[in-house]
Amino acid sequence: MTQPPASRGVLFVVTTAHFTWAATNAARSIARHNPDLPVGIFTDQTEVDPIFAFHGLITPPGGRRKPEYIVKTPWEQTLYLDSDVRITGSLDDLFRVLERYDLAGAQVQYRQYRGRNKIWRIVMPLAFPQINCGMLLFNRVPSVLKLFADWRQGMIDGGFSREQVPFRETLWLSDVRFTTLGPEYNTRSLSYGFWPTKVPQPLILHLKPLHSKWRLRRFLIHIQTGPVRFRLWLNKLLGISTAS
């Protein structure tokens, strides 16, 4: 296990060679816009790209290991990301949220869709929907580490294959200082055109085809993100902030 060089960083937790490769592509987008921000990975692969400043080995290999390994982050402040993401700008402002809150995440996009508000042990208000666990910003403090440990135990006790049902209930019952982020920090669909708009530009694109095993799906999502990439390029050319 290599040692982290700073008190803040971005973390991936993946298994298999394919998703390690996908996380490497995501990490390159982080480094492009945040050259001084270290990126780390927990994986069951023994060799990783040197773009990762931190490499932790997952043993035994395989499985969905996020709740187990996210608590082992080497940084005081961590942005956890799934491997199907691309970063479009600086993350400095996002990390500032941790000056006031210990955990931040974005609501799932289709939060009223059937199954998204599945009841496990207690009934919660629909106004407290699931949080997408593919992007979690947090401080490494006891309350957050306990939440993650309870989340992992909930997945085991409930026999869950999906993470967000037990995470929702665990968060509801916790004392963690939590805040919700806007969809631009976890953009799950592409609704941005070439024309001017007041809709904030996405900082984190979180699109499943980005880590697809099918080359055609990855190619198609590259085409679909064309308007977003053009708008970001144009904003940069005109000196317009990504978040404006």
State pLDDT tens for residues 87-131: 989 999 999 999 999 999 998 876 666 666 777 888 888 888 889
Q: At how many degrees (to 10) do helices 142-158 and 164-173 cross? A: 130
209 falls within a domain: no
Q: Higher model confidence: residue 128 or residue 219?
A: 128
41 falls within a domain: yes
Residue 222: other Cβ atoms inside 10 A: 12
In sign, the C-alpha dihedral spanning 153, 154, 158, 159 is negative
State pLDDT tens for residues 79-89: 999 998 999 89
pLDDT of residue 160: 84
Q: Which residue type, as a one-letter code, is found at position 233?
A: W
For residue 174, pLDDT beyond 70: yes
Q: Higher model confidence: residue 120 or residue 71?
A: 71
pLDDT of residue 191: 62
pLDDT of residue 62: 82
In total, the chain counts a number of residues equal to: 244
105 falls within a domain: yes
13 falls within a domain: yes
Residue carrying structure tokens 């085809």 = 209
- Element holding 57 (H helix, E strand): strand 54-57
218 falls within a domain: no
| 92-101, 165-174, 226-235, range with the lowest pLDDT | 226-235
Contacts with 52 (C-beta within 8 Å, 6 or more apart), sequence order: 24, 27, 39, 40, 41
pLDDT of residue 3: 45
For residue 178, pLDDT beyond 60: yes
Buried b (16+ CB within 10 A) or exposed e, 93-126: ebbebbeebbbbbbbbeebeeeebbeeeeeebee
For residue 243, pLDDT beyond 50: no
Range 148-175 average pLDDT: 91
Q: Are strands 85-87 and 204-206 parallel, antiparallel or unpaired?
A: antiparallel
- % of the chain residues with pLDDT over 90: 55
Range 170-184 average pLDDT: 95
Q: Are strands 103-107 and 39-43 parallel, antiparallel or unpaired?
A: unpaired
DSSP alpha helix (H) spans, the chain: 16-33, 66-69, 92-95, 142-158, 164-173, 215-224, 226-238
pLDDT band at 70 (very low <50, low <70, confident <90, very high): very high
- Listing DSSP states for 199-216 in one string gives SPPPSEEE-GGGG-S-HH
For residue 168, pLDDT beyond 80: yes
Range 234-238 average pLDDT: 66
Number of folded domains that form the chain: 1
For residue 9, pLDDT beyond 80: yes
Which CATH number characterizes residue 42's domain?
A: 3.90.550.10
Beta carbons of 35 and 53 less than 8 angstroms apart: no
For residue 225, pLDDT beyond 70: no
pLDDT of residue 5: 46
> 42: domain range?
8-185
Beta carbons of 113 and 129 less than 8 angstroms apart: no
91 falls within a domain: yes
Beta bridge partners of 79: 10, 137
What average pLDDT does the chain have?
Answer: 85
pLDDT band at 193 (very low <50, low <70, confident <90, very high): low
194 falls within a domain: no
199 falls within a domain: no
